[in-house]
Structure 1
């Protein structure tokens, strides 16, 4: 847990560690299935995954980055807007935000799991079911990390949270807890989600 917060090189080494991320996800899946979301080891696992998701978009290995951002580069080259400062139109900006991730793998391995919908749903399940503040904060924080930035990954994760996994009710509940750090992280996550213009109607309907 401490090693995963040691900086970019430490995160890189741990993401590349064969079987580590898969084992963490597998353990958490087991405790959720056994209705034990307050397990201390689960908290540790989620905190590690939270740390490994930090700045994931800009720290991705080149092989993943090329695949994920190919569509976005194509949009950028085809929709240039003239002007002294190269300002893009709102239409182009929204098109970039809605660029989807490549089709998800049915059995993700290693770093691929960090942005996969399976893990996103695990975080939302822990937010809803765990009463441990650190587990709640780490789950919210991981989603906050994954939805930060302006690339296709953050916006695809945001769509999964809001539209595919129906995560807003659980996040909304965290706005009313007494723990200030949990509440603050929930607010930051909602701020990230709301940057996606295609989700603003869904978020508004929740009456947060």
Structure 2
């Protein structure tokens, strides 16, 4: 039906169009008008930096919970903008900020941060970095993540806590 070269070209075109949202946080966003306009500003990766600034400089628990919750929601799922948000958080060095916030003595903040970290871990590179940053936090990291229903098993684990999302 197709010659070898045509099939490869068709497959390459399909692959590129299907996986166009695999942005690594470097360079311009694919299929995106810069700067964002209108409602697109709500989910554009440029919104990550102001949220991370709030998380690193603010001490108000309500603001911390809100900013972590916003990142949590923006990073959830497989929507192309969620993939971009997760890459932007990594690029802006937001993962250690989130891990550090697990030390706060406020359950609502810790819950929002733990869930944001779970969503960030949907990205394989983020998952590795969260594990690396959390090693310096152990055992408090493991205890807090488990208390919010998230598995913290190492990659060698067979995920014995199958009911829980796995961070590693």
TM-score w.r.t. length of structure 2:
0.61
Match in the other structure for 1:194: 121
Secondary structure of the residue aligned to 1:206 is helix
Instruction: Write the distance in 1 (CA, Å) between the matches of 2:20 and 2:111.
Output: 25
Question: Of residues 113, 126, 131 in structure 1, which corresponds to 2:59?
Answer: 131
Question: Of residues 50, 70, 73 in structure 2, which corresponds to 1:145?
Answer: 73
Secondary structure of the residue aligned to 1:158 is helix
Structure 1 unmatched ranges of 5 or more: 1-73, 79-95
| Bigger proportion of residues as helix | 1
- 1:12-27 superposed matches below 5 A: none
Bigger relative contact order, structure 1 or 2 (CA pairs below 8 A, ≥6 apart): 1
Instruction: Write the distance in 1 (CA, Å) between the matches of 2:131 and 2:72.
Output: 19
Instruction: Write the distance in 2 (CA, Å) between the matches of 1:141 and 1:160.
Output: 16
User: Deviation of residue 190 (structure 1)?
Assistant: 0.5
User: Deviation of residue 118 (structure 1)?
Assistant: 2.5
Cα RMSD after superposing both structures: 2.4
Match in the other structure for 1:99: 22
Match in the other structure for 1:181: 108
TM-score w.r.t. length of structure 1:
0.50
Instruction: Write the distance in 2 (CA, Å) between the matches of 1:114 and 1:167.
Output: 18
Question: Of residues 133, 149, 171 in structure 1, which corresponds to 2:98?
Answer: 171
Secondary structure of the residue aligned to 1:166 is coil
Q: Is the 8 A contact 2:72 2:116 kept in 1?
A: yes
Match in the other structure for 1:91: none
Match in the other structure for 1:113: 41
